[in-house]
């Protein structure tokens, strides 16, 4: 048995074992945002713990599994502790391995590579990707929906900025920043704001070199490559974890990849990963913990804005509630409308796909309507792909919670 095989097997058994806890109560069915809008996905209980019993090494005739968006709400809702979403992700990877992975999925799963290729030629790349004829052609040839929200290349990477910037003032508190691909290539401003907020609170911020965590590969069923990606990232981060430093992430889904999904879905059994995992914090979790301990600076200026806050499905997967709301409570003048929707629909790369775009937009329609109805100055959300989808669905600017703190500190 190869090491790779052992890993996959362990991950599978860990999650698959939980299906015996399913009492068929249907709570996951009532919470699933995809089954609510399309009969193509019959629901997490059917596709998950029920169908899993019939899956063997023989190719499956059932394709409905592919319509699961991997938002993870079924696992979150299950009162019995069944890892519904994890079981489905693993089964889908097995199915795609049997059937072959489309070129489209191979491409959209490599956000780091796209970033590297697009950044040096950003104006041209943005022009090309913004061209409706190109998008129509891309839809026909490889199946990325012509209207799906794609980010714009910033042209300068966050890593480049971090390398050039003078080192933080030496303080006893050090924190490691895992910024992820989107901050590096598409939203470097978020990275700069995060560093400023952390430094304002007396931390010196270390930005180690880092690559893609492998999440888009994982959600597209390309597990072998995803495992090598996450191991490569862990190698960059583990020296700091060994010294006891906390690692903060602004990309909530990539943070969750380190905390949970690499272990529970990819089945990576690795002490280094476990150590990094235990030291990884979502940025709002980290800051709200500081606040709870009375260590967060509260020299906030009034921010007279009305914001909506959507906690994305991947943020909820951290099982930490909504710490962003605790932080917003500290900012004077801020009016916060908490939204109660499970998912915006995009689920990473799901909503980019030609055959799933309409489903994703329908999943998000309730959220979009709530945001448009609330008419906020800014709609706040922790996840980058969700922010792009929300802006696409509402026409309103969407920002990360850190941006509010950055403004409130007057940085």
Partner 1 sequence: MTETRHADVVVLGAGLAGLTAAVRLAEAGLKVVTVAKGLGSLRLAPATIDILGYAPQRVDSPTASLPGFVAAHPQHPYSLVSAQVLAASVSWLKDHVDGYSYVGEPSTNMLLPTAIGVPRPSAVVPKTMVGGDIRDLSTVAVAGLRVLKDFHPALAAENLQAAAAAAGLSLQVRPVMLDVPVDGEVDVGTLALARHFSDKKFRTAVGAELRRALSDEQAVGVPAVLGLDDVQEVWSQFTEEVGKPVFEIPTIPPSVPGMRLAALLQARFRAAGGRLVLGAQATGPELRDGKLVGVRVAAAARETPRLCRWVVLATGGLASGGIDVDLAGHAAETALGLPVRGPGADQAAFLPSYLADHPIDTIGLTVDANLRPAGPDGEPVYQNLRAAGAIIGGARPWREKSGDGISLSTGYLAAESILQEAR
Binding site for partner 1 (CB under 8 A): 25-27, 29-31, 36, 39, 75-81, 256, 258-260, 277-278, 280, 292-294, 316-322, 325-326, 338, 340
Separation CA 344–CA 361 (nearest Å): 8
If residue 92 lies in a helix (H) or strand (E), which one and from where to where?
Answer: helix 84-99
Question: What does the block give as tokens for 215?
Answer: 């999440």
Minimum CB separation of residue 29 from partner 1 in Å reads: 6
3-state SS, residue 177: strand
Q: For partner 1, which is the closer residue by CB, 151 or 366?
A: 366
Minimum CB separation of residue 274 from partner 1 in Å reads: 9
Q: Judge whether 240 and 208 are in contact, CB under 8 Å.
A: yes
Q: For partner 1, which is the closer residue by CB, 185 or 286?
A: 286
Dump strand ranges (E) for 228-302.
Answer: 246-249, 280-282
Query: For the chain, what percentages of helix, strand and coil (3-state, to nearest 5) are there?
Result: 55, 10, 35
406 forms beta bridges with none
Q: What is the DSSP string of 192-220?
A: HHHHHHHHHTTEEEE-------SHHHHHT
List Cβ neighbours of 122 (8 Å cut-off, separation of 6 or more): 152, 153, 154, 155
Sheet of 306-310: strands edge to edge?
335-338, 306-310, 378-381, 398-399
Minimum CB separation of residue 285 from partner 1 in Å reads: 9
Question: What does the block give as tokens for 222?
Answer: 């390309």
Q: For partner 1, which is the closer residue by CB, 320 or 372?
A: 320
Q: For partner 1, which is the closer residue by CB, 6 or 30?
A: 30
Q: For partner 1, which is the closer residue by CB, 195 or 367?
A: 367
Separation CA 273–CA 260 (nearest Å): 10
Separation CA 248–CA 179 (nearest Å): 8
The phi and psi torsions of 221 (rounded to 5 degrees) equal 80, 15
337 forms beta bridges with 308
Q: For partner 1, which is the closer residue by CB, 221 or 317?
A: 317
Minimum CB separation of residue 21 from partner 1 in Å reads: 9
Minimum CB separation of residue 240 from partner 1 in Å reads: 16
Question: What does the block give as tokens for 307?
Answer: 């914001």
Minimum CB separation of residue 264 from partner 1 in Å reads: 9
Q: Judge whether 348 and 219 are in contact, CB under 8 Å.
A: yes
Q: For partner 1, which is the closer residue by CB, 73 or 154?
A: 73
Minimum CB separation of residue 259 from partner 1 in Å reads: 4
Minimum CB separation of residue 176 from partner 1 in Å reads: 15
Q: For partner 1, which is the closer residue by CB, 4 or 329?
A: 329
Q: Is the sign of the CA dihedral 23, 24, 27, 32 positive or negative?
A: positive
Minimum CB separation of residue 215 from partner 1 in Å reads: 14
Q: For partner 1, which is the closer residue by CB, 167 or 294?
A: 294
């Amino acid at each position: 048995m190869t090491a790779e095989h052992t890993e996959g097997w362990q991950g599978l058994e860990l999650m698959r074992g939980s299906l015996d806890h399913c009492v068929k109560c249907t709570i996951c069915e009532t919470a699933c945002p995809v089954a609510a809008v399309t009969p193509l996905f019959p629901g997490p209980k059917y596709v998950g713990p029920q169908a899993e019993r019939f899956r063997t090494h023989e190719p499956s005739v059932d394709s409905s599994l592919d319509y699961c968006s991997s938002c993870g709400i079924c696992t979150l809702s299950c009162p019995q502790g069944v890892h519904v979403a994890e079981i489905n992700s693993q089964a889908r990877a097995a199915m795609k391995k049997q059937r072959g992975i489309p070129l489209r999925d191979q491409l959209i799963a490599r956000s780091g590579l796209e970033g590297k290729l697009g950044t040096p030629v950003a104006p041209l790349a943005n022009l090309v990707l913004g061209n409706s004829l190109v998008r129509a052609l891309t839809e026909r040839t490889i199946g990325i929906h012509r209207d799906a929200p794609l980010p714009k290349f910033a042209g300068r990477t966050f890593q480049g900025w971090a390398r050039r910037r003078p080192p933080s003032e030496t303080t006893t508190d050090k924190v490691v920043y895992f910024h992820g691909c989107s901050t590096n290539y598409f939203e470097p401003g978020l990275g700069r704001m995060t560093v400023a907020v952390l430094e304002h609170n007396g931390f010196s911020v270390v930005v180690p070199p880092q690559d893609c965590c492998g999440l888009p590969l994982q959600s597209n069923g390309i597990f072998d490559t995803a495992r090598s990606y996450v191991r490569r990232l862990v190698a960059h981060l583990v020296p700091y974890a060994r010294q006891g430093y906390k690692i903060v992430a602004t990309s909530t889904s990539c943070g969750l990849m380190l905390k949970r999904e690499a272990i529970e879905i990819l089945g990576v059994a690795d002490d280094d990963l476990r150590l990094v995992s235990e030291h990884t914090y979502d940025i709002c979790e980290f800051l709200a913990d500081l606040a709870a301990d009375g260590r967060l600076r509260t020299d906030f200026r009034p921010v007279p804005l009305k914001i909506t806050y959507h906690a994305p499905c991947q943020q909820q997967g951290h099982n930490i509630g909504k710490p962003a709301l605790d932080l917003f409570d500290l900012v004077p003048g801020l009016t916060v409308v908490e939204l109660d929707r499970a998912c915006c629909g995009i689920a990473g790369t799901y909503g980019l796909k030609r055959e799933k775009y309409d489903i994703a937009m329908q999943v998000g329609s309730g959220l979009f309507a709530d945001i448009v109805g609330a008419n906020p100055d800014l709609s706040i959300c922790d996840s980058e792909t969700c922010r792009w989808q929300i802006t696409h669905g509402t026409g309103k600017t969407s920002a990360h919670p850190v941006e509010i703190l950055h403004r409130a500190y007057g940085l």
